[in-house]
Amino acid sequence: CSQADLGPISINWFEELSSEAPP
C-alpha cells in the first residue's frame, strides 16, 4: 500500500472536518 491509496492528506484535518460537518 502507498499513501496514494489513502488520498490527499491534510495536517489540519480536524479543523477542516469540523468546519464541513453539520452543526
Partner 1 sequence: DSLKQTERADVPAGDNLNPGNLQLVSKLKNPSGSCSVDVGAVWWEIAGVKQPCIVTACEYAVSLWKPLGPGQWREMYSWLFTEVPVLQIVSMPDVYNLVCVALGNLEIREIRALLCSSDGESEKQVLLSSGNIHAVLGLTERRLVSSSRTLCDQQVEIITFAEDGGSQGKQFLMPPEETVLTFAEIEGMQEALLGTTIMNNVVMWNLNTGQLLRKMHVGDSYQASICHKAYSEMGLLFVVLSHPCAKERGPSGSPVFQLIAVNPKTALSVDVMLYYLPQGQAGRFLEGDVKDNFAAAVLTSGAIAIWDLLLGHCTALLPPISDQNWSFVKWSGTDSHLLAGQKDGNIFVY
Please state the closest distance from residue 23 (CB atom) to partner 1, in A.
7
Which residues, in sequence order, are CB contacts of 9 under 8 Å at separation 6+? Answer: 3
Grid coordinates standing for 10?
491534510
**Burial of 10 from C-beta contacts in 10 A (0-12 / 13-18 / 19+):** exposed
Question: Number of residues in contact with partner 1, rule: CB under 8 A?
Answer: 18
| Residues of this chain, 1-23, that bind partner 1 according to CB under 8 A | 1-3, 5-11, 13-14, 16-18, 21-23
Q: Which residues in this chain contact partner 1 in the complex, by CB under 8 A?
A: 1-3, 5-11, 13-14, 16-18, 21-23
